[in-house]
Amino acid sequence: MTGTATPPLSGTQKRTIAGGAIGTLMEYYDYYLYGLASAAIFPAVFFTGEDPIVAQLSSFATFAVGFFLRPVGGLVFGHIGDRVGRKTTLMITVVGMGIATAGIGLIPPEASIGIVAPLLLIFFRMCQGFFVGGEMGGAATMVVEHAPVGKRGMYGAFLISGAGIANVASAGLMAGLGLGPESWFMTWGWRIPFVLGLVLAIIALVLRSKLEESDEFKETKQAQADAGVKSNPIREVFRHPKNAIMGILIGLPQSIAGYVVLTFGIAYMVNQNNIPAWQGFAGTMIVGILQVFVAPAYGALSDRIGRRKVYIAGCIGFALLVWPTFLLFDTSNLVLIWVGMILGFVIPGVAMQATLQTMLAEMFDPEARTTGVNIGYQISNTLGGGLAPFICTALVAVVGGQIWPVVVYCAVICLIGAIATATANISTDGARLHELRIVQAATPSTREAEKA
């Protein structure tokens, strides 16, 4: 870092950061909403004929199913983003997520249509996973490419501020509606936030229609066009496979943080301690409010001291704070439960989330950046976050309600992420990591000249 003042953002940069953050807000509103509902609502609506523990596991299994489509969506939309443009990807994903989320809110309960209800739930959840698979790679790439080099961490973290607002909106709606009559909430009330997802999609679509591609992306595409080359983004990512693998391992700790503390944590309190679900929803809303402001602070810190240091500190912090977090949950005291959510997620989890997307974008060159970010982010979220609530529920059930296996599980994941972060190749100054591969198709005369 130098003492040179960073010039003010241009109108295009401001629109890009706002469009990325607001679109991410909408995408993760949909996704967080499902996480909350799978913890406290879906077991009673779509899995009514099963033992409560089995119903909870079944609900979390549908939650995990969506994650298995995320890498597929990441590859498809990463290819579109790197070949056609980041804007195209972001326009498609936001519409797809809105339709899928509204569809979930319109599914009749199992008591009305039998097994078709959970099957429809799985279908729309898979659609959610497919479309959200292209979101973070496109948004992170778009924002980081437009942001000033010395401020990429801070502006990239605004995407996580958008996710924080999504936390507030989804949890706030659920908590507010949950204060009404329980029979009404379990029949109709929970559906309202899901249907609103389609309205948010239309708003996000309008905002994203004004986005522009970055100069870096356009220059790379022009260089390839001048050489008559159309690169394959997936092949380009794995031409240097180290960062693709490291990106997956780096993303694991941040992927489980929110789903262990907030999603599984709520289910744990509801099932083990008989805490009303609205208390967990309200705590998630508080966490989201703090996330809005804490994320850019962590991002700015990463611009000053480096992304590795902030991310590794988050890994260590999460490993150390999981145990006291669940001790606070076990008190059944409302204030201490909320303190536990802040302790377990806001302090270490947001530190990781705020730096991850910028760090991943800096691990790949423009011609494969969207694909590279998606591979790291979505596969890590599938292997980590997607399975975390299910794994934690099973571990606690096996040991008779004790939480220590969850603590060990989190510590191992954090160790893996910290080691990967320390060894990855990252370009924080905007320079390319590898020379642009431009190989013109060999003509007969070219081949003869090469032989000579």
Neighbouring residues of 21: CB distance < 8 A, sequence distance ≥ 6: 139, 143, 158, 159, 161, 162
The pTM assigned to this predicted structure is: 0.83
The string of pLDDT tens digits covering residues 1-18 is 444 556 677 777 777 877
Neighbour-count burial of 287, counting CB atoms closer than 10 A to its CB (0-12 exposed, 13-18 middle, 19+ buried): buried
**Which pLDDT score, from 0 to 100, does residue 6 have?**
61
On whether the CB atoms of residues 263 and 39 are closer than 8 A, the answer is yes
The string of pLDDT tens digits covering residues 178-231 is 777 878 888 888 999 999 988 888 888 888 888 888 888 888 888 878 777 777
Phi and psi based region of residue 430 (left: phi greater than 0; alpha: psi -120 to 50; beta: remaining) = left
**Which pLDDT score, from 0 to 100, does residue 5 have?**
57
**Which pLDDT score, from 0 to 100, does residue 380 have?**
93
**Which pLDDT score, from 0 to 100, does residue 438 have?**
61
- Asked if residue 444 has pLDDT above 50, the reply is no
**Which pLDDT score, from 0 to 100, does residue 80 have?**
93
- Asked if residue 439 has pLDDT above 70, the reply is no
Query: How many whole angstroms separate alpha carbon 392 and alpha carbon 219?
Result: 47
Token pair belonging to 157: 């973290």
Find, among 38, 73, 75, 138, the residue nearest to 388 by Cα: 38
Find the helix packing angle between 152-178 and 11-40, rounded to 10°.
Answer: 40
> What is the pLDDT confidence band of residue 338, given thresholds at 50, 70 and 90?
very high
- Asked if residue 452 has pLDDT above 60, the reply is no
Buried b (16+ CB within 10 A) or exposed e, 268-286: bbbbeeebbbbbbbbbbbb
Neighbouring residues of 335: CB distance < 8 A, sequence distance ≥ 6: none
Alpha carbon separation from 65 to 8, 68, 145 (Å, rounded)? 43, 5, 32
**Which pLDDT score, from 0 to 100, does residue 267 have?**
84
**Which pLDDT score, from 0 to 100, does residue 7 have?**
65
Q: What is the 3-state secondary structure (H, E, C) of 297-338?
A: HHHHHHHHHCHHHHHHHHHHHHHHHHHHHHHHHCCCCHHHHH
The string of pLDDT tens digits covering residues 246-298 is 999 999 999 999 889 988 898 888 888 888 877 888 888 899 899 999 999 99
Share of the chain above pLDDT 90, in %: 39
On whether the CB atoms of residues 44 and 105 are closer than 8 A, the answer is no
Q: pLDDT averaged over the chain?
A: 86
Find, among 94, 93, 59, the residue nearest to 190 by Cα: 59
On whether the CB atoms of residues 252 and 128 are closer than 8 A, the answer is no
Token pair belonging to 151: 């401020």
